[in-house]
Structure 1
Amino acid sequence: MAKVAPIYSRKVYKQKQKLFSNLSKFTGPSGQLTLLEIGTGTGTNFQFYPAGCRLTCTDPNPNFRKFLLKSLSENRHLELEGLVVASGEELRQIPDGTVDVVVCTLVLCSVADSKKVLTEVLRVLRPGGAFYFLEHVAADHSSWTYFWQKVCDPVWKCFGDGCSLSRETQEELEKTNFSELNLRRFRVTPYWIPASPHIIGYAVK
């Protein structure tokens, strides 16, 4: 992931830049944006976060720490509050209603229970806080892309650490009790590549 993430990030740079451009509007009463990133990985999103942002990073892989610390050394405009080794389904170390923004990019495709992750997101967000997401998702069920997603899924999961090509993340977001959902679909790569269909946006608690 440390090698692949920068390549992918270059492909979605403009989309991420636009997505995260309004993060500051969710700054809470403290005057500093409190941000929790689920599945931080190597920290490819850090460059998009506003100066003075108070950041807590979580990832189930303990080996993320050395890559994350390197990224933090290159993004000194951020204030690190904590590094938590935990899955997105089990964020017990984060108290209820204490976070202004939760960020999750390319994570919901591989978690064991995306519904449980979204439940945890709602729990830790303060009222009026926002959940930012960027995920590859299932294609339209009548398309050839979806056909190839289902064909490739077993092997993809094996080599992609549980990543599913046909996860219905948009449906899960629509079912979750957010007060507002801003979402659009786009393609990162040519239509025939199974991981091409994506969703991007943010939801408000």
Structure 2
Amino acid sequence: MSCSIKFWTLVVNVLCLPLHVVRALGLYKLYKRVTPFFFQRMTVKYNAKMHERKMELFRGLSGFKKPGGGPLTILEIGCGTGANFKYYPPGAKVICTDPNPHFQNYLTENMKKSEHLKYERFVVAAGEDMSSVGDESVDVVVCTLVLCSVTDVPQTLREAHRILRPGGAFFFLEHVVADPSTWSYFFQHVFQPAWYYIGDGCVVTRATWKHLEEAGFSDLQLEHVEAPLIFVLKPHILGRAVK
């Protein structure tokens, strides 16, 4: 299957040549301005399909409130349009980060609808460098459908580990590469050159769970699940990792 994957991936790369040129010229950045519009609509559909999974995942958030009182502090990496806000417990303080500043208007609007939360701030930052956030300063870090598009997964996890207080937790929900024996694996690799542009830098061929296993957390609870989505996005992992 590997030779076939290489051949058809090359074909797709050739077909994507105009997009590669646009990206090389720096014009792809213009797409960032309209990304929030499309993602706002896509996340509504995703939440509808993954509602029960998200409810189950985030049910344990309140258990990581810092000892001695005070609100639960959540930092979300790659918050997008705020798709997870409705799953956060009442009274939580939320810090949002995203490398795309054009999400801020959507975030502000969605936070107005989320009166059960306190919106602290929006930080324009990539997951690999959140230096404006202090060491051991938050109770929970949330990351959903983000590790597929960061440049450096291990570095992003190191940053999450850094900003978590001792005993805090990293909650994640990510799509991952399929089993190599499946057709999903074949099409994930073949379509990847085009999917990069469709998904705004998304990589569907990452074995993200391996990075989580090596990230140095004291307790990792990780589950592989099949999401009710198109075949290239079906394989998911979800869980939490305690610092």
TM range (shorter): over 0.9
How do 1:63-142 and structure 2 match up within 5 A?
63-142=102-181
Distance 1:63 1:56 in 2: 16
One-letter code of the match for 1:38?
I
Higher helix share: 2
Aligned position for 2:78: 39
In terms of mean alpha carbon deviation, does 95-104 or 28-37 score higher? 28-37
Matched, 1:28 2:63: no
Aligned position for 2:233: 195
Q: Secondary structure at the match of 1:107?
A: coil
Q: Between Structure 1 and Structure 2, how many residues are aligned?
A: 204
Cα-to-partner distance string for 1:108-156 (whole Å, 9 max, x where unaligned) = 0011111110000000000110000000001112222111111111110
In terms of mean alpha carbon deviation, does 130-139 or 28-37 score higher? 28-37
Distance 1:36 1:176 in 2: 18
Q: Which runs of 5+ in 2 are unaligned?
A: 1-38
Query: CA-atom RMSD, angstroms?
Result: 1.1
Cα deviation for residue 51 of structure 1 reads: 0.9
Distance 1:55 1:155 in 2: 34
In terms of mean alpha carbon deviation, does 24-33 or 56-65 score higher? 24-33
Q: What percentage of aligned pairs have identical amino acids? A: 49
Matched, 1:18 2:56: yes
Q: Which runs of 5+ in 1 are unaligned?
A: none
Higher strand share: 1
One-letter code of the match for 1:25?
G
Cα deviation for residue 158 of structure 1 reads: 2.2
One-letter code of the match for 2:150?
V
So what's the TM-score if we normalise by structure 2?
0.82
How do 1:154-173 and structure 2 match up within 5 A?
154-173=193-212
Cα deviation for residue 189 of structure 1 reads: 2.7
Larger radius of gyration: 2
One-letter code of the match for 2:94?
L
Moved over 2 A (4+): none
So what's the TM-score if we normalise by structure 1?
0.97
Distance 1:31 1:53 in 2: 9
Q: Secondary structure at the match of 1:115?
A: helix
Matched, 1:183 2:219: no
Distance 1:31 1:56 in 2: 15
Cα deviation for residue 45 of structure 1 reads: 0.5
